[in-house]
Structure 1
């Protein structure tokens, strides 16, 4: 078993090792597979077909497995590397350490949002966007969205999600107003900024606004924290398991669009039930 650390607690050597492993996965071409996969399984309420990655109960187990697959790719490069987490309630400004030159680099320049600092700047020659939603080849960010400021989620907003006593509820989509999953994912009706997970994507801006959001390496640190929050919720509500427990009935409009506890998650053919306990694989240093 290994430990995922808060990014602010990484040593200089650990930061260097993480960055080097990410760049190696990028050079191999495997990184593009992760970007394409996230784009493929980011299906909205308005689209037809199965919703596996977002706007559905499987949001959390799908991303837990996605994160594990990426972490395994990093560890094939360097077995010591794990995916750190970014606690956006604490490191909540563009001056936070994760945006430093020696780690993820900073925000984009004003005229085109191009990131020009750090190891993932296009000018360094190591980070060309090949599977974005636009034709741009460089990483983009707009931290805090200065033209129309947005704040990162607060501890109180996280607490409100953690206080939910059920995992999810019908109609199992972005419109549900109760349940931990959507409180954390953040599709809250009437709030254009979104909440929690969603607002972090908006705060970072640039590549993180698209379905190809893994093009920004901060995606992994963000989802590591989302996974940690799910872990906290599970420990706080041990009697409240993944829902729905069973495949939805034939008359339910969400049948075939929502994955129940024992149905397989694509593309790995593993059920959410197999992803509810990570204690044999990793832990979080809090």
Structure 2
């Protein structure tokens, strides 16, 4: 059974294995296919049009499937690797352990945001950005720039207490757990973290930064926590509704995956602690 651990509890060996698997996926070209897929969907998902991966009820099951496929790609390189998660309610500063040179590296330099240390720095010649939002081919970050703050545990708990999964109009104006977790309303959880990291994480090509996977693993864990807290609260909508993915509708780009298929994560992986 794959067990996803808090990144702060990874051993040095586990960190190295995760980094090495990322670098191999980058070397063989598979990594960039995930970046391109995410960028394509975030650019096409709109409040008024068809939306699948973002701004919609399927935000959580879509990313759950996306992470499962990426985790399987990592495990094709090293079967011992699992996606770690970043609990940004605890590891809240640019000095947190995940930003160390032996793991993800730190913030970018002032003039252009270029990450200069760690295994994903362009100077190591192993992490060229190929799916680009501009002409620059290096990873960029601006951790906490402008005095930005990451979400707090109290803000997360308030969202976890919400009893309804989603509601009309099923987009970024919706009330309910999904949209508050995605970050278009309320405390702005998921979106706020992307902006706090800055650089590529603030763009549609956010998976260029390996912290994307750790951030979304924590978002997925929070969904699992919410499911445990509200076992009678179902995915909504259950029937076809406008331009969004209902419970038994297929989620692009997959031909045979529905939100219903993704409600139970336990056939695929466990978290080291699922309770909120």
The residue aligned with 1:281 is 268
Counterparts of 1:59 and 1:280, CA distance in 2 = 20
Q: Which residues of 2 match residues 104-253 of structure 1 at below 5 A?
A: 104-145=104-145, 148-176=146-174, 178-188=175-185, 195-248=188-241
Contact 2:47 2:171 in 1 (8 A): no
**How many Å apart are 1:68 and its aligned residue?**
0.5
* Whole-angstrom CA distance in 2 between matches of 1:272 and 1:44: 17
The 5-angstrom pairing of residues 66-105 of structure 1 reads 66-105=66-105
Identify unmatched segments of 5+ residues in structure 2: none
Task: Please tell me whether the aligned partners of residues 47 and 55 of structure 2 are also in contact (alpha carbons under 8 angstroms).
Answer: no
Mapped to 1, the partners of 2:138 and 2:48 lie a distance apart of 29
* Post-superposition CA distance 1:84-129 (Å, at most 9, x none): 0000000000000000000000000001100000000000000000
Structure 1: give runs of 5+ residues left out of the alignment.
249-254
Counterpart in 1 of 2:258?
A: 271
Q: What is the TM-score normalised by the length of structure 1?
A: 0.93
TM-score when scaled to structure 2? 0.96
How many residues are paired up?
A: 271
Partner residue in 1 for 2:46: 45
Q: Distance in 2 between matches of 1:231 and 1:63?
A: 13
1:28 equivalent in structure 2: 28
Deviation at 1:45, TM superposition (A): 2.9
Q: Deviations over 1:62-96 (max 9, x none)?
A: 00000001000000000000000000000000000
Shift of 1:46: 5.0
Secondary structure, counterpart of 1:67 in structure 2: helix
Q: Per-residue deviation at 1:44?
A: 3.9
CA shift in 2, pair 1:72/1:195, >3 Å: same
Q: Do 2:47 and 2:172's aligned partners in 1 also have CA atoms closer than 8 Å?
A: no
In structure 2, distance between residues paired with 1:2 and 1:41 = 27
Is the partner of 1:231 in helix, strand or coil?
helix
Contact 2:160 2:226 in 1 (8 A): yes
CA distance in 1, matches of 2:46, 2:265: 29
Task: Determine the C-alpha separation between the residues in 1 that align with 2:46 and 2:163.
Answer: 24
